Structure 1
């Protein structure tokens, strides 16, 4: 019975990720599964833009993450680094506020998992082959209970 429940949860999580990338208005979308052991401060999560539909795309970057009830903080600070083919580097810092003042999760979801998305304010231009890396910049070495991290470009 427990194995059946775990399988259903895994299927639901996969469908949620596919739904997040499925819109017609998304130019680029990729998700990464994070280790169950946690996300260490120095670990960067890479997103190469080699599978973009166009060679050049303009829009707003959206960072999306999925966490569970065990996440011990109300927010997460992230640093996004965009590196162009020409070597230029641009960094953005994002404070994703995951819970309200009363501790209620803001993300969408069911059960113990919640998906939260935040749009960066400045429009960007991505070229196929650029790369995006994300790392957490929380004041702790390793954070746990963040399950997936994704990047989308919305025109």
Structure 2
């Protein structure tokens, strides 16, 4: 009995450690009325202290079944601690050629973690500011419920 209790405690401790989310930021912000406008970008700031560690940077994206495209174009700007700004335009596929959504679905809501940068090393310690804008032709972009940013160590 005592050994099985000890084993259960060890197993629980390992499980809890495995479930620990080590993201330094993981946000989802709702859009206004399910519409993502050019003038309503996501803004996020993150403090980077370890420049030796590689990070994965994701765009968190959630849409409803009414989203009419199989992709999304975004414009990501990030500013380093010295105020140097980098701007990048990216396209992300959201559906297969047959129209089947690639995101995780729940009801009529589909969630994605879209990889923006893999194994990225921030060049300097300090605060980085991110701005994520929709860059599609439609304004507002309808049926987008949430947008966010996730940065996690790449290990």
- Which TM-score tier does this pair reach, normalised by the shorter chain? 0.7 to 0.9
Task: Give the alignment's TM-score, normalised by structure 2.
Answer: 0.75
Aligned-partner Cα distance in 2 for 1:38–1:129:
29
- Mapping for residues 8-47 of structure 1, pairs under 5 Å: 23-36=20-33, 38-47=35-44
User: Is the CA contact (8 Å cut-off) linking 1:28 and 1:154 kept in structure 2?
Assistant: yes
The number of residue pairs the alignment matches comes to 131
Query: Quick one: which of 127, 138, 141 aligns to 1:140?
Result: 138
User: Is the CA contact (8 Å cut-off) linking 2:60 and 2:112 kept in structure 1?
Assistant: yes
User: Is the CA contact (8 Å cut-off) linking 2:42 and 2:148 kept in structure 1?
Assistant: no
Task: Give the alignment's TM-score, normalised by structure 1.
Answer: 0.75
Partner residue of 2:62?
66
Aligned-partner Cα distance in 1 for 2:34–2:145:
10
Q: What SS does the aligned partner of 2:106 have?
A: coil
Change (3 A) 1:37 1:69: closer
Change (3 A) 1:135 1:25: same
Structure 2 residue ranges without an equivalent (≥5)? 1-18
Structure 1 residue ranges without an equivalent (≥5)? 1-21
User: Is the CA contact (8 Å cut-off) linking 1:31 and 1:150 kept in structure 2?
Assistant: yes
